[in-house]
Chains A and B, each alone.
Chain A
Amino acid sequence: MTVKVLRRVAILVVSLFVASIVVFLFMAVLPGDPAQVALGVNATPELLAKTRAEFGIDQPLVTQYLRWIGGVLHGDFGRSYVTRDAIGPQLLDRLGVTLWLVGAGMLVALVIAVPAGTFAAVRHRKPSGAGVSGLSQIGVAIPAFLAGIILVQIFAVQLRWLPSGGWTPPDQDVGEFLRGLVLPALSLGLVQGAVLTRYVRSAVLDTLGQDYLRTARSKGLLPGQALFRHGLRNASVPVVTVLGLQLATLLIGAVVVERVFVLPGLGSLLLDAVSSRDLLTVQGIVLVLVAGVLLVNFVVDVLYTVLDPRLRGS
């Protein structure tokens, strides 16, 4: 098992390295001069040249890359072309917001998907089960931003129960923080919940057909008891896989939802940084997002072996 985990770690490191090169090259081919954007429309050629030198973007690409990645390895993401502030702390700050959003969205999704999926599986021959499946199909088809817009119209603009956007840090006012998180988390979580419901349903359905459940029931357990005691752990293996994959979609969904709800997360920072050609910041954000997705996949791989002893040997 240790060898297996070590091999995964090696894959993770190589992937991150390759990703950093790809991210860097993408930035290099992006049209537009960061110095020009930073200086504005009346910039003189001298001032432009000076600013390019200051940003280091007049250097060869290899030098620029090595300087950047060298800094990142020491935890230094450089300074923003636009704000001239250190990027690292800024990333950490924004990442916090995005993680709250993704976490809350995931929670909403699980709260919906686990009971709904199990229900749909157990009653898969009944109209109520089919009804839940049908609802989940509709949910899958709605993009998170649309869900967000609809929720804002109802709960913020019409009813005025919750804010239409904005962010209050939890350490400042927990009540406002939660009120602000409800709608974004719902718009992200409802859609994800619908997607997950389908996976939970098929996983549970699969488990229900297994011999060991029949054995458990023959020992006198009710169907529900048998499922909870013996079935759910097995059903959770495929669900955890999907959860890992979905986490990546959730991160991407968060980028859009942050825009709709004006949340100062990584996504809104990314959009701002791209439009102002704040390339170092963009590189930093994309690297963090890529690292996040790779890390999740890594954790999922490891979790597999923990959840399912049968996978440890192979």
Chain B
Amino acid sequence: MKARIPVVALALLLVASGCSAGSSASVASGPDTLSVGFTAEPASFDFTHADGAAIPQALLYNVYEGLVKLDASGHVVPLLAKSWTISPDRKTYDFQLQPGVKFSNGAPFTASDVKFSLQRVKTDWTISVKSAMDVVDHVDAVSPDHARVVLSKPSNGWLFSLTSRIGAMFSPTGVGDLANKPVGTGPYEVAARRRGDSIVLQENPAYWGRKPAYRTVVLKYIADPTALDNALLSNGIDVISSLTSADSIPQFQGDNRFTVVQGTTNSEVTLAFNNKRAPLNDTRVRQALTYAIDRKAVLDLVFSGRGTLIGSMVPPTDPWYEDLSKVYPYDPAKARQLLAQAGVKNLDLRLRIPNLPYAVSAAQVVQSQLTEVGVRTTIETLDFPAVWLKQVFTDHDYDLSIVQHVEARDITTFGKPSYYWGYDSRRVQQLLAEADSGTTEQQVADMKQVARQLNTDAAADWLFLYPNVIVAKDKVTGFAQNQVSESFDLTGLRPR
């Protein structure tokens, strides 16, 4: 007992001194430091071997740069390539590179690094997105500031993919330990990482472009949405990169310490129909279900009405966007009529959803609305990602499912009959292929037709487009409203 008393006293003293050390519990101190909160933490820094959105979100455009980048309105714009030309047969791309660019390890960036990086996707990457590089036939370093890429067939999708992680430029001298030591040409370098807590980015002093306004950015990883909100409310962070529930928006809007920025994403929350399985292989049944669901009501419940009703697999930031959200107005009578026409009675469907909040809330509305037109649904909640991926996505063991499709231009998945939609349309496949190889104008025209065809066939029910809601301290500005690239782009952020 005698020994314990001083220990206790010491602890109390330390606790007390901790309390009086300062009244603000701020991690981010100083005007040139910024702290941004995210929900999903990168597994490693190596997006050539580990999948998941969190790694490019942190590193792309901030630490790694590509030849081109996707701006907030969805346009492909120059980055490490000053400009580029496309040959008349649309197979040869000539990129003129920015001069004077250096990797963070000091190595100069030249056309041979372009050749090295693009070829490496085919040979060394193990994740599935690497297939976007399959269309590349060969790469030539014509001169240090001129790289030429020759495709085996024309592909608009390829240039667009270059704005994603597969377009990231690496140095042969900087790929020794990708999982721990990223070496890129971007405005930031990785200075420190605490697994399960944070990643610290530090300004790259030799950056070729405009210097970022914040010299240090702390990326804080907080999986629990409430804890993330609390961190901002208690000065632990300066920005919430993306709010996952609308419930907490009012408390930030009503507080003049914060600003709320709202825009769009690429993330279609979709009610998937198993197009291969009877009776959902009947277009009339799918159309009936689409009429039966009040998507506005779903959006109101899931995200307080924030978000966009779209009606097809196209977000407004894609050039071929059209508002198709009103083609199937909420009409239970019409739904019943179509079901009767299709000769479907006592329909009982399995709605197998991931155990994620948006899916669970949306499923409740969908279930009750389908009940009104005489369709019984059993909701089964599956552990995401593991069980959902295996049973619904891989084994196609479902009738209905609800999931967010976050990838850019993932409308192309409707061109693969083996994809879990089970949607098989020769016309759509042909149009997608034509759009990929045609001119920009042809691409837009063809893609519009694809979207309309999917809508006509009711290939799925696009419940809504997930909103991009950023909450930040009032002093931070420069956010891109729309989250359309894979990156959480820090380069435009600045103090007010």
Contact = CB atoms under 8 A, between A and B. Distances in A.
A266 to B, nearest CB: 10
A178 B195 CA distance: 19
A94 interface: yes
Contact of A178 (B14, B127, B389): B14
B255 to A, nearest CB: 11
Interface in A230-289: 232, 259-265, 268-269, 271-272, 275-277
B19 interface: yes
A144 B334 CA distance: 52
A161 B22 CA distance: 7
Contacts of A32: 383, 385-387, 389-390
A162 interface: yes
Nearest to A228: B1
Contacts, number: 177
A72 B194 CA distance: 25
9 contacts: A39-B127, A82-B44, A82-B50, A107-B8, A153-B230, A156-B234, A165-B227, A178-B14, A179-B18
Interface string B218-240: 00111110110011011110000
Contact of A152 (B230, B385, B389, B393): B230
A94 B227 CA distance: 20
Nearest to A258: B196
B21 interface: yes
B233 A166 contact: no
Contacts of A261: 227
B383 A47 contact: no
Given A156-B233, A164-B236, A182-B15, 8 more contacts: A32-B387, A33-B386, A82-B44, A153-B230, A164-B233, A165-B236, A166-B231, A264-B195
A38 B51 contact: yes
B43 A163 contact: no
A262 B21 CA distance: 22
B415 to A, nearest CB: 13
Interface string B10-28: 0110110111010111010
B348 interface: no
B195 A157 contact: no
Contact of A161 (B23, B43, B44): B23
Interface stretch (A15-23, A83-91, A130-138, A192-200): A83-91
A270 to B, nearest CB: 11
B197 A41 contact: no
A100 to B, nearest CB: 12
Contact of B390 (A31, A50, A51): A31
A41 B226 CA distance: 28
A70 B454 CA distance: 54
A165 B21 contact: no
Interface string B172-205: 0000000100000000000000111110000000
B8 A179 contact: no
A260 B227 contact: yes
Interface residues of B, number: 58
B128 interface: yes
B236 A276 contact: no
A218 interface: no
Given A38-B50, A83-B179, A275 B390 contact: no
B463 to A, nearest CB: 19
Contacts of A228: 1
Interface in A78-112: 80, 82-85, 90, 93-94, 104, 107, 110-111
A40 B23 contact: no
Contacts of A107: 7-8, 11
A150 B178 CA distance: 42
A47 B126 contact: yes
A215 interface: no
A43 interface: yes
Contacts of A265: 196
Contacts of A272: 41, 196, 223
A286 B312 CA distance: 45
A313 to B, nearest CB: 26
A214 interface: no
Contacts of B233: 156-157, 164
Interface in A135-181: 149, 152-153, 156-157, 160-167, 169, 175, 178-179
A210 interface: no
Contacts of B236: 156, 163-166
A268 B383 CA distance: 17
Given A33-B386, A83-B179, A162-B25, A94 B44 contact: no
Contact of A163 (B15, B234, B385, B390): B234
Interface string A24-37: 00000011111011
Contacts of B220: 166
A178 B224 CA distance: 22
B227 A44 contact: no
Interface string B271-313: 0000000000000000000000000000000000000000000
A80 B131 CA distance: 25
B94 to A, nearest CB: 30
A42 interface: yes
Contacts of A160: 23-25, 234-235
A228 to B, nearest CB: 7
A162 B19 contact: yes
Contacts of A269: 196
B129 interface: yes
Contacts of B44: 82-85
B194 A41 contact: no
Given A40-B128, A268-B196, A156 B230 contact: yes
A40 B127 contact: yes
B230 A157 contact: yes
Nearest to A185: B15
Most A C-beta atoms less than 10 A away, residue of B23, B49, B231: B231
A242 to B, nearest CB: 17
A267 to B, nearest CB: 10
A143 B124 CA distance: 49
B394 interface: yes
Nearest to A153: B230
Given A272-B41, A275-B386, A157 B8 contact: no
B52 to A, nearest CB: 7
Contact of B195 (A36, A90, A156, A259): A90
A302 to B, nearest CB: 19
B58 to A, nearest CB: 14
Contact of B197 (A34, A39, A264): A264
A84 B50 contact: yes
Contacts of A42: 128-129, 131
Contacts of A153: 230
Contact of A84 (B179, B224, B230, B391): B179
Contact of A39 (B128, B227, B231): B128
A152 B41 CA distance: 23
